[in-house]
Chains A and B, each alone.
Chain A
Amino acid sequence: DAGVIQSPRHEVTEMGQEVTLRCKPISGHNSLFWYRQTMMRGLELLIYFNNNVPIDDSGMPEDRFSAKMPNASFSTLKIQPSEPRDSAVYFCASSFPSGRAGELFFGEGSRLTVL
């Protein structure tokens, strides 16, 4: 199994530019999570999906952030326009749905730097 695949691994962009991060979850996993990791705030859950449907987006910082899951094998997290404070490592994770939280499988992350 290839695991959770994220792209790009590194992105450097200028303030105001649009950023799109991509995630392919593990085949057969029905839940997908987007987390953001910074030194100051640690790991924060931004949004999660069950069966391609957004369940909880209360962690999305503001309207500049949006996430989609058009099908079971692909999700995007978009930031438009980007700001320096968005600089962080963004992780995608997937799991089997179980009603209760089970084991999460994380991708290697996308390190975003906004200049």
Chain B
Amino acid sequence: SQQGEEDPQALSIQEGENATMNCSYKTSINNLQWYRQNSGRGLVHLILIRSNEREKHSGRLRVTLDTSKKSSSLLITASRAADTASYFCATDAPGGGNKLTFGTGTQLKVEL
């Protein structure tokens, strides 16, 4: 299965701290995406990084991709209570069309 594994499963930090989540996957990919899900809501796309990119930034988000290790990390800097959510990585495989396979997710709690 291509399903990614996020690490850690759960993370609790104080507001203002940085949060780092990791994702590992099993097969080659075209791109990797990160999504956020607030409790009881649908997933929202955060950022996409292509297989030929190593790092990407968007606001307080920084994503890295290491295709040799089949892993990615999502860094949220200066976290806020509103960042409390579950975060998922998603990958698509070459020849897999536009089908995305999601990881198991990291539950982030940012405390005041």
Contacts and interface: CB of A to CB of B under 8 A. Distances in A.
Interface of A: 4, 31, 33, 35, 42-43, 45, 48, 50, 55-56, 91, 93, 95, 97-109
A55 B97 contact: yes
A45 B96 CA distance: 13
B21 to A, nearest CB: 15
Interface residues of B, number: 24
B100 A106 contact: no
Interface of B: 3, 30-31, 33, 35, 41-45, 48, 88, 90, 92, 96-105
Nearest to A35: B102
B19 to A, nearest CB: 20
Given A101-B30, A101-B31, A42 B99 contact: no
A28 to B, nearest CB: 15
Given A91-B43, A106-B42, A100 B102 contact: no
B105 A100 contact: no
B30 A100 contact: yes
A48 B96 CA distance: 12
Contact of A50 (B42, B96, B97, B101): B97
Given A43-B102, A50-B97, A101 B92 contact: yes
